[in-house]
Amino acid sequence: MTVLHLSDPHLFADEKGSLLGVNTQESFCAVLDDVRAKGVDPDVIIVTGDISQDYSEASYQFFAEQMAQFGKPVFTLAGNHDEVEHLSRCLSTAPLFNHKQILTEHWQILMLNSHIEGEVHGRISESELNWLEGCLQDNSDLPTMLYMHHHPVPVGCDWLDEIGISNKDDLLELVTQHPQVKLCGFGHVHQFSEHKIDNATYCSVPSTCVQFKRHSADFAASSETPGYAVYQCRADGSIDKQNYRVDHYLPKVNFAISGY
């Protein structure tokens, strides 16, 4: 199974809409073009939130139109910038789905909700943790990938690590108890990161628009190009992870802006 992991498009209804100076529709399309140019042929596409920046129904419709061109199942999560009602309504018609559990012959994929209405940080609710534990117990023979929007492990940016998953210890303890969990993928941090704890690899992908400067104490943008990850998941539970940058697309970042 080949999984394409995208995150944080921050799309607007307006085709000229920009985040920190970067036109988000343009950069999103540049990423999708790069996926095609590199010959990536995913079986599943996972998008871990912050699909919209302006909460508009039109931004989700644009996303749906672009993703449908792949003709592959697309599963999405809500980030802190998303309008959950619009996301659920616009992204629930095939080939886009908001299923929380995906079962294949050899793998289980679980989509965890970390969204808190009106908050920047995330949390995995008790009911969500109970659901996760049940899925892991019921399918203990299947290697499993977890996806969420917020980060459950530090990424080395002080300001970002204050707005991750507030009850991350509860999640990490549960994952550690179930060694079939091989990967926990997330967005939110607008950068590549990788952290190994026991059997699970915790990894993030860049935004499809503007990136955040790595190892920064305070908010800071980066001139790095958009990116994405591809996971080749084998029947034996191993994963070959490839990180890609869209090197031909040079974002025009406005570094004078001190937030988003």
pLDDT, average across residues 13-38? 97
Residue 215 buriedness (CB in 10 A; 0-12 / 13-18 / 19+): exposed
Can you give the pLDDT at residue 259? 76
Q: How confident is the model at residue 255 (pLDDT cuts 50, 70, 90)?
A: confident
- Whether 42 and 72 have beta carbons less than 8 Å apart is answered as yes
**Has residue 45 got a pLDDT over 90?**
yes
pLDDT, average across residues 157-176? 97
Q: Domain boundaries in the chain? A: 2-245
Task: State the architecture of 2-245 in CATH terms.
Answer: 4-Layer Sandwich (3.60)
- Whether 110 and 148 have beta carbons less than 8 Å apart is answered as no
**Has residue 72 got a pLDDT over 80?**
yes
Q: What percent of the chain has pLDDT over 70?
A: 100
pLDDT, average across residues 7-21? 96
Q: How confident is the model at residue 260 (pLDDT cuts 50, 70, 90)?
A: confident
pLDDT per residue as tens digits for the range 92-108: 889 999 899 999 999 99
Can you give the pLDDT at residue 37? 97
**Has residue 258 got a pLDDT over 80?**
no
**Has residue 252 got a pLDDT over 90?**
no
59 vs 204: CA distance, rounded Å: 23
pLDDT, average across residues 30-56? 97
51 vs 106: CA distance, rounded Å: 29
pLDDT per residue as tens digits for the range 221-248: 999 999 999 999 999 999 999 999 999 8
